[in-house]
A and B are shown apart, each in its own frame.
Chain A
Amino acid sequence: MSAKVAIAEPIRGRAGAVGRWRTLGAIGIKMMFFDRLKLAGTLFGVVFAVVLGNFQMGTFLALLSKNRMFVEAQTDVDLWVTPPGTRQFQGGKPLNDSHLNRARALEGVAWAEPLVLQTAQLTLPNGGREPVSLVGTRAPRFAGGPWNVVKGEREALLTPGGVFFEDAEREKFGGLNYGSVRELGGRKVQVVGFTWGLLPFAPAYAFAEQTLAREIVQLPADQHTFIMVGVQPGADPVAVRAALQAELPDTRVMTRAEYLHEILVYIVTGTQIGLSFGTSTFMGLLVGLITVALSMFSSVVDNLRAFGTLKAIGSTTADLARLLLVQALIYGLVGSLMGLGMVAAMVSGMRNPQLTPILPMAAFGITVVLMVGVCLAASVLALLRVRKLEPAMVFR
């Protein structure tokens, strides 16, 4: 012992909260990247959950949109008069001229137009048949007329026998071309235009002037599938709806927004679709949760000595929580970004309008937030394990 040496003094300095997040977070990240196989496995779990969840939700939205596209597209229709009990965009017992005339006479109504919608059979060149959902729209307003038009003018519907068809179904319809002549419901028609992507769950929409449509589907001139109503400028659609419903008690009158909402509610609650997609989305999230939870837990178990050493040297359980939370955050962030990248690439590769998942921008934000939440929740198992860890174990 040399008496001249200054004896080491107690160390009083301490890292603040930020410093501890930084130090322990950096160690957590190094540990993650040190075990590459586990990192890959965990990320795969998160990516799987993201891809599955987004595909399920995107497909559900696509389904929803198929069922709502007609009502959604008719932005100038304020009110829909439908047969009683209507919950989808589908006709029932036809409405009649009395409904139409009483609607037109009502205070606050600017215009009312009948719409024809019924399935018709298209005869193919090879003798086969394909159904279409034939829409009969009235000139000159053409309410309920074709949209997403990629070829032709809607005024061409006034040429004798003129019909718009769906471009995506041209092959299926036997090589349909602009100007092709076909038989529709036993009546000669000519292709005067094409729409793009109008593929509901029912057969593709086709559009004809109403007189022709009635001839094809054999619907008398005084019967209508729906009645579309526009309200006077300044009139409140909700108030007019109530008045019209009172005037036409044997129908169901909905505003455009109510109709869209009703279709959503019907799909979610009135069919198996909501349950089925909800379940598989939930399963995806569950798989992500379990993968991350097990992998983080097993990583703690594999590195017990390292965690014990961290504790023995002076890290608290809260410090180790910081380490694990940073890991969880990174699993969530990196996994969702990778998953979303894959989803985006896959969806943009699917150019066919049959059932391409719809991914709104919000899906990206929701996915990241949800997956980070799932990963943070998944770290609980690992946290409980490090909490139990006795620092004295390092001497054993």
Chain B
Amino acid sequence: MSDPAVKLKGLTKTYGEGALAFEALKGIDLEVARGEFLMLVGPSGSGKTTLLSILGCVLAPTRGEGFLFSEPLHGRKERELPELRLSYIGFIFQGHNLLPALTAEQNVAFPLELRGYSHRAALAEAREVLGAVGLEDKLTSHPDALSGGQRQRVSVARAIAGRPPLILADEPTASLDAQTGAQVTTLLKDLSTERGHTVIVVTHDSRIFHLADRTVHIEDGRLVPPPVKE
């Protein structure tokens, strides 16, 4: 059967309480099909990161319903969330967020070890995925010895290693120059198509919009139709 990869119904998120309460998401309805490459676009402060955090199971929604591959992500206990992340999510962050003390292959391997891979199997998979992103000669380099584009490619490798069904990327090209950003996104698109990942990319970067299967716009905590341009 083909439940969507992501299904959100009336999802809200309120930060803070009482007079300080701030509603960052005001009722989001969204479906993302399995294998879709979706871009989430909107101005700064519109709620993109909040939405991605809820999808990534690092933040609980306030109201409404959310499902990842039919598994509910609302109403979960805090201690169930790490499990959900391991099952479903590969993350790509704005800053690469690689562990500086680990080599490229160790950075890619450790999430696999948490998922029960033996050390040896995790390293083998890490090397293979790093090969797929074109870093076969940087396996044992530490992040501080890599260029920005190389680091972000290690991030891509870490996110797709082990084939989690959903890849979430928050402004993955923000710290890269335009050309490198487009290259990394193209790589992510090709690999996820090849490997059957569903991908949601938050971005400002209009140069990569054409890579999306679909683009969703968010403004002030609500999904809106794309702005009309002349």
Contacts and interface: CB of A to CB of B under 8 A. Distances in A.
B105 interface: no
B101 A14 contact: no
B53 A10 contact: no
B119 interface: yes
Given A14-B116, A15-B115, A394-B97, A8 B165 contact: yes
Contacts, number: 135
B95 A8 contact: no
B101 A1 contact: no
B117 interface: yes
Interface string A4-35: 01111111111110011011000100110111
Contacts of B114: 14-15, 20, 23, 313-315, 319
B82 A315 contact: yes
B85 interface: yes
A314 B85 contact: yes
B7 to A, nearest CB: 15
A314 B86 contact: yes
A10 B99 contact: no
Contacts of A396: 49
A165 B109 CA distance: 72
B100 A306 contact: yes
A131 B114 CA distance: 74
Interface in A288-342: 303, 305-306, 308-316, 319
A14 B119 CA distance: 13
Nearest to A4: B196
B85 A19 contact: no
Nearest to B214: A1
A2 interface: yes
Interface residues on A, range: 35 or more
A183 B24 CA distance: 100
B151 interface: no
Interface in B78-123: 79, 81-83, 85-88, 91, 93-95, 97-102, 106, 110-111, 113-117, 119
A396 B53 CA distance: 10
Nearest to A307: B99
B136 interface: no
Contacts of A309: 93, 97-99
B91 A8 contact: no
B115 A23 contact: no
B66 interface: no
Contacts of B5: 7
30 contacts: A1-B33, A2-B35, A2-B193, A6-B196, A7-B5, A7-B165, A8-B163, A8-B196, A8-B198, A10-B71, A10-B87, A10-B165, A11-B162, A11-B164, A13-B115, A14-B114, A15-B116, A19-B116, A22-B113, A27-B110, A30-B102, A306-B99, A309-B97, A309-B98, A310-B99, A314-B111, A316-B82, A394-B58, A394-B91, A395-B93
